[in-house]
Structure 1
Amino acid sequence: MKGEEANFQTGLDALAKIANVYLNIHIKQRNSQLAAMRNVTLTAFDGPHPAGNVGVQINHIDPVVKGETVWTLDPQAVLFIGRLFNTGRVDFTRTVAVTGSEVLHPAYCKLQVGALLTSVFAGNVTRGKELRYISGNPLTGKQVSPNGFLGAFHNQLTVIPEGDDIHEMLGWIMPRFKQFSANRSYFSWLMGKKEYTLDARVKGGERHMIMSGEYDKVFPMDILPEFLIKAIIAGDIDRMEAWGYTKWLPRTSPFANLSAPRRWSCSTLSVPGLTGFALRWHNLISTN
């Protein structure tokens, strides 16, 4: 964003011509140029991840209700619009963070949307082990090959160990002093706060859903996620609506995927549920 404040303001001005624009910033940015942007309703947020997630922010500012449509853009997409109006040229250049435990030199780089990633990773990752390349972050990104392409909506690239070269005997009962556990299943929590190198292993298989309250600990919205998930699995649209489905987007629940013992993705589950929810209301509107 630095150095492109004029393009950002132009993008906001263009969007303000067609809809009300809400600009959400971190509370530490209140004295920055972002706080001085015009034609927007400004809201400042604070707190740990996912406080910066737009779905969580919408839920706290003005929750989506039945029949409403809310469109969101990330700041770099607003820059695309601003550049177009200021220069007359389409410029899809993004600032992308190259991150992960297996990246030798983490840095920011300028890439076009859909850019080939070969030159980004070449000579900049650990050799001698299997790696997982991700367009996006480890919680919500998409797996790509080292010769893959940057996703249209991603501003981060991540490289972590694949983990398929690690074999543990009776791993489920080992003390594991160096591995992370959200539920203190390992002895690592006795070592105090520390950084962990996480790999791509699932470490378990799909299990039946037990009402354990694990999702309640990590869901950022004031809903009952386990009841909602059961309604989605059953395809019960009425109960989905009653349990707050309109407040839930796939990217708002990454920690539920990480910490739950069931080993299936809440984010993936929400997509067919959302499709069924939308189809029902489309059919109701079409027949009335």
Structure 2
Amino acid sequence: MNNFKRPAGLSLLLLAAVSLQSQSSMSGGNLVFYGLAALALLIFFYIVVSVADNFMVIESKQMGLDDENRAGLFPDFRQMFASKKPGYLKEAHVYTLTKGYDIPMDGEPQETIRDAKVTRFAISPPDFFGLRPIPKLLVEEGDVVKAGDPVFFDKQLSRIKFAAPVSGEVISVTRGLKRSISEIVILADKEQESRSYELPAAGASREELVEFLLESGAWPCIRQRPYNLVANPDVVPRDIFVSTFDTSPVGPNLNLTVRGRMDVFQAGVNVLRRLTPGLVYLGLDGRGESDSPFAAVSGAEKRYFRGAHPAGNVGVQIHHIHPCGVGENTVWTLGVEEVLLLGELFQHGRYDTTRLVAISGGSFSDPSYVRTRAGANIGELIAGQTLEPNSRIISGDVLSGIQKSEEGFLGFFDNQVTAIPEGNEAEVFGWLLPLKPRASISPTIPVLSDNIHITTNSHGEKRAFVVNNDYEQVMPMDIYLTQLMKSIIVNDLESMEGLGIYELVPEDVALAEFACVSKQPLQQILRQGHDTMIAQG
């Protein structure tokens, strides 16, 4: 009930009591009157206390207190019955997210690491949102390059050079529709050689540091929000955010990525500190019994997150720590691999895109990890795996990744290759009688296992928007997603801005797309909205 309507209801209750008192000739009339009056006073007192409690909770949230330390007059029963937090979180700044969903999917990679024998690598302009489809090429077939040598640049962003991920010979330039450039493929040398760099002095200014990163080819690893564009070198970010854990379905364990390389990661964080007058935030995993290895990093603000996916998304972490926007609220983001790339550049003077890639999903015979470099050929990357027939290979996770063939290449920002069966077989009354176990946020479909053999079947088709609270169940962000998507479809720029389009990128709505009963392509719609906002300036 609306709080503003309650006083009127109380007045009616008191008038009814007075009427009963005046009309009653029975000796019990006074008892009825005093009983109703007391009930009205109790309700009024409860409303006042509830409003005060709500204001205290809102103020605590604005102060950045986590759910456990948030002030309030009434106890939170979810906290009373929640599992006890481990000791390392006692003095930490923790955000406990109550919304989200972990898809119970099989094919989680085991902690077995091998070196992949990949001979072909590619850098793909479509991996970098906001670039024109036909950038200016600096190489041609037959040219020999070193890791870090510039390969192309965008005609609008001529200062930003995109570098070769490995050393070797350029063997092909693959083109797509309207002669857009899809991939520049390099046949890698057996012994990798990096371009040599003259590192800036320890006391170099921020402007000198930016110019070095632009010239080195390392700049494109920094992304800017809103829109998740390649960072604009003329913009000074308010803050820089790095998520150090991945909660996507059967996603990689990023703790393995920095095993034995924490000094390199620390060097990368030191570089980031010099690029912003604000803070460098690390989003740490607070779900385990032991502390994250990233907790040892100095010079960064650490925030722990507990909860289901998408708690590991950097966009969700930004939303809870300090929301981003345009102008002075522009922020930059990086992944763990990108921070390591910067650390290798400044600590060892080499351009090194080495990364640990999770081979995951129920279609692989032995989900595990392989060590390779950015842009690796997927067929060579998964060599030695037995792939289930009629499977889909995805560069990235099942929610926000891109479908690839075995002749395709790993995305520049991806550290996971997933394979799941195509769900294109007919199911008799499959929608009415769910005879096979399936993942669903609906309590009407019981989930009896944590390792469901997920397929690509969406169990439905696109239809008109059904307004329900499914998005709110899985999105731990204070955003009205249904209204935002509708405003994008009708091109209402003012509503798009007011409803929070600046805070979202496609991966942030991927889980909502999975839960959508209308089967709406939310990631595609959001990207369409970004294109519109960018075009409008």
2:370 to 97, 109, 131: 109
**2:378–2:410 CA contact under 8 A, matched in 1:** yes
User: Which SS does the other structure have where 1:203 is aligned?
Assistant: coil
2:281 to 22, 36, 48: 22
Instruction: Mark the CA change 1:225 to 1:173 in structure 2 (over 3 Å): closer, same or farther.
Output: same
Residues paired across the two proteins, number: 276
**Cα distance in 1 between the residues matched to 2:460 and 2:418:** 23
**Cα distance in 1 between the residues matched to 2:450 and 2:355:** 32
Long gaps (5+) in structure 2: 1-257
Letter of the 2:264 counterpart: N
Letter of the 1:23 counterpart: L
User: Which SS does the other structure have where 2:403 is aligned?
Assistant: strand
User: Which SS does the other structure have where 1:178 is aligned?
Assistant: coil
Displacement of 1:91? 0.7
State whether structure 2 residue 448 is matched by structure 1 residue 192: yes
1:11 matched residue in structure 2: 268
User: Which SS does the other structure have where 1:171 is aligned?
Assistant: coil
Deviations 1:67-103 (A, max 9, x none): 2321100011100011111111111011111100011
**Within 5 A, what are the aligned runs for 1:111-150?**
111-127=372-388, 129-150=389-410
Identity score, percent = 34
1:100 to 361, 370, 378: 361
1:59 to 312, 316, 319: 319
Deviations 1:142-192 (A, max 9, x none): 11102221110001110100122x222332222424233332454xx1x63
Displacement of 1:193? 4.3
**Cα distance in 2 between the residues matched to 1:172 and 1:32:** 42
1:286 matched residue in structure 2: none
Letter of the 2:345 counterpart: L
1:70 to 314, 327, 331: 331
Letter of the 1:8 counterpart: F
Displacement of 1:253? 1.6
2:528 matched residue in structure 1: 272
Instruction: Mark the CA change 1:194 to 1:21 in structure 2 (over 3 Å): closer, same or farther.
Output: closer
State whether structure 2 residue 297 is matched by structure 1 residue 37: yes
Displacement of 1:44? 1.6
- The more displaced of 47-56 and 211-220 is 211-220
Letter of the 1:241 counterpart: E
**2:465–2:520 CA contact under 8 A, matched in 1:** no
Q: Which is helix-richer, 1 or 2?
A: 1
User: Which SS does the other structure have where 2:440 is aligned?
Assistant: coil
Runs of 4+ with deviation above 3 angstroms: 28-33, 191-194
Deviations 1:103-152 (A, max 9, x none): 1111111111011122232341334x201001100001111102221110
CA-based RMSD: 1.9
User: Which SS does the other structure have where 2:334 is aligned?
Assistant: coil
1:90 to 344, 348, 351: 351
Letter of the 1:18 counterpart: L
**1:213–1:226 CA contact under 8 A, matched in 2:** no
When the two structures are superposed, what TM-score results if normalisation uses the length of structure 2? 0.49
Instruction: Mark the CA change 1:211 to 1:33 in structure 2 (over 3 Å): closer, same or farther.
Output: closer
1:168 to 415, 427, 430: 427
2:440 to 181, 184, 202: 181
User: Which SS does the other structure have where 1:60 is aligned?
Assistant: helix
1:233 matched residue in structure 2: 489
**Cα distance in 2 between the residues matched to 1:195 and 1:29:** 22
Displacement of 1:32? 4.7
Deviations 1:231-281 (A, max 9, x none): 11111111112222222221112221111122222111111112222333x
**2:466–2:517 CA contact under 8 A, matched in 1:** no
**Cα distance in 1 between the residues matched to 2:430 and 2:292:** 49
Letter of the 1:267 counterpart: Q
Larger RCO, structures 1/2 (Cα 8 Å, 6+ apart)? 2
**2:284–2:304 CA contact under 8 A, matched in 1:** yes
